[in-house]
Structure 1
Amino acid sequence: MVFQRTLTFKSPGRGTTNITPDIQELVAESGVSTGTCHVFVQHTSASLMLCENADPDVRHDLETFMQHLVPDGDPMFRHQDEGPDDMSAHIRTVLTNPDLTVPISGAQCDLGIWQGIYLWEHRTHQQRRRIIVTIIGE
């Protein structure tokens, strides 16, 4: 069986949004009890991550690290058509993941106790993000 839906999220700007409950809801709706769930963000300046869901400092520290690694407005970037966070957001996406695949067991994503699925927004301003969720299994 194959089940596919598109979700839309409004990100508040740079940072992470926990989308685990939305993904788990789709897995339940799909009727698949064993299989895989593929999650794909349709944008070049946002990504997905499987990350610790207990301590928000982990996601804060990841963002701090990324700001150090790929600063906004670096003069070496030629592409800044949409502002100083434009090229840095594209680089952050290339360095991270536009998609994730997680196993489904017992009709839910079989995540570890401390794992959550997050949309990681790399632009500084609010955005609307489309995510395609494809569930395959039985």
Structure 2
Amino acid sequence: MRFHQAQHSFSTDGRGTLEITETVAGEVRRAGVRNGLCHVFLHHTSASLMLCENADPSVRRDLERYFSRLVTDGDPLFEHRLEGDDDMAAHIRSVLTHNDLTLPVRNGRLALGTWQGVYLWEHRYQGHRRQVTVSVQGVD
């Protein structure tokens, strides 16, 4: 059994998605695991991770528009506003999505579908530095 772990830092440009597939796939290659699992964990509560369509960026834009309708920034219902109108909305978006993903490793590679990519989804207006831990375990 092999185990490999690495931490990465990503800068976001504000609300929207950032593809991190290649970084995650690189850690799988470095792990030297033939078959196993790759776990990706985001160390934040106002952003999330998602496995999503990677061929057409309109899919991610439509998801952003949908979430803007679902969770309204500055909703008067929200008490928590320490960092602005997007503060509580970002936390809700994070809870409704994921802060971790577990992905299969097969034949030494991240085993994603043809049109799948791994994305960091920033829920705040301002860009942030986001920390991600990638852990890979399996057999060689």
TM-score, reference length from structure 1: 0.99
1:4 offset after TM fit, Å? Answer: 0.5
- Residue aligned with 2:73, SS: coil
Spell out, residue by residue over 1:24-73, the C-alpha distance to the aligned partner (whole angstroms, 9 max, x if none): 01110111111000000000001000000000000000000000000111
TM-score, reference length from structure 2: 0.97
Runs of 4+, deviation exceeding 4 Å: none
Gap regions ≥5 residues in structure 2 = none
One-letter amino acid of the counterpart of residue 26, structure 1: E
1:24 matched to which residue of 2? 25
Q: How many pairs were matched up?
A: 138
1:122 matched to which residue of 2? 123
Spell out, residue by residue over 1:60-98, the C-alpha distance to the aligned partner (whole angstroms, 9 max, x if none): 000000000001111110000000000000000000000
Distance 1:67 1:50 in 2: 19
Q: Percent identity?
A: 54
1:34 matched to which residue of 2? 35
2:7 matched to which residue of 1? 6
1:109 matched to which residue of 2? 110
- Residue aligned with 2:26, SS: helix
Spell out, residue by residue over 1:102-136, the C-alpha distance to the aligned partner (whole angstroms, 9 max, x if none): 00011111000000000000001010000011101
1:137 matched to which residue of 2? 138
